[in-house]
A = this chain, B = another copy of it.
């Protein structure tokens, strides 16, 4: 058998529902029938029904097979996943909607995530697979969504609310542009394993890897190695990426920071980066209670105060960040003031102020 290479992925057409194929590019409008249930109407008058369910993203083959079975039973075998890791069944028969919803709920997969809800949490590997992780990702998502899932199954928020978790500042996923982002961080300079460093790493490459120039050559026990100027280290872990002897993990000092007000869409306002809300919360598995209640609090405050169709960052921009800190009760600290390249542009350069808290 000749070895097959570079064939790329299977062509998507093979996987399209016949109704979709017929109406491809000819959709007219859509309606929401219930949270998690959409109906897209084609120019031809045909309708495709979508039932969306939450997924833990980390799926065993047995669950995959279960999804396949559900698809066979209710959607002619057609299904897809979304850009936020939800699963969507594509039905031509509306009579199958309720049975499918029941089956999904029984199997433990909540239906929802559409429109002005909290959809699935985009997240990363964490302790499941990544060497770089300052925290776990899946566990935080599970703990958080156990608390927030009513906002998944109901469309009860002013606008879409996108939550994301990244287990380190590499920020795999669009964490930097999320309504609420939970970010694993280090808070101590690398601990250097001088014994293994020489063998494992090239010292010049290592020194060059540090964006702040905190790493310099040193001699320890007569051997060439490096040391780190502590004040200059911003715990970015870039040195660890190029050299495993620069250990970043530190159970006491690693933890989570919370960022808010980012968005991706161009709807109304331009895309925005998330901004720091809480600089540090402890890494507290298995349920990260500090993180969960901090996020739930922010969601509550937002839900109560924002106007209709106002994303979290649009709300904070309208009412002002001081109001955000006041309403959430989160203390404003020196860490909230930027000190990076563009810091100056984040200072308040006007007298536009709401002076009565």
Contacts and interface: CB of A to CB of B under 8 A. Distances in A.
A341 interface: yes
Contacts of A266: 350-352
Contacts of A352: 266, 270
A14 B222 CA distance: 79
Contact of A270 (B270, B271, B350): B350
Contact of A349 (B271, B342, B344, B349): B271
Contacts of A344: 342
A341 B349 CA distance: 18
A219 interface: no
Nearest to A341: B341
> Interface size class for chain A?
10 to 19
The oligomer's copy count stands at 2
A95 interface: no
A61 interface: no
A352 B265 CA distance: 11
A355 interface: no
A141 B139 CA distance: 68
Contacts of A7: none
A277 to B, nearest CB: 22
Contacts of A341: 341-342
A211 to B, nearest CB: 16
A345 interface: yes
Contact of A350 (B271, B342, B345): B271
A293 B266 CA distance: 38
Interface string A258-271: 00000000100011
A139 B349 CA distance: 34
Nearest to A270: B350
A344 B273 CA distance: 14
A351 B351 CA distance: 30
Contacts of A349: 270-271
Interface string A338-357: 00011011000111100000
Interface string A304-343: 0000000000000000000000000000000000000110
A171 to B, nearest CB: 17
A41 B349 CA distance: 33
A245 to B, nearest CB: 34
A351 to B, nearest CB: 5
Contacts of A271: 349-350
Contacts of A270: 349-350, 352
Interface of A: 266, 270-271, 341-342, 344-345, 349-352
Given A266-B352, A345-B345, 4 more contacts: A266-B351, A270-B350, A271-B349, A342-B342
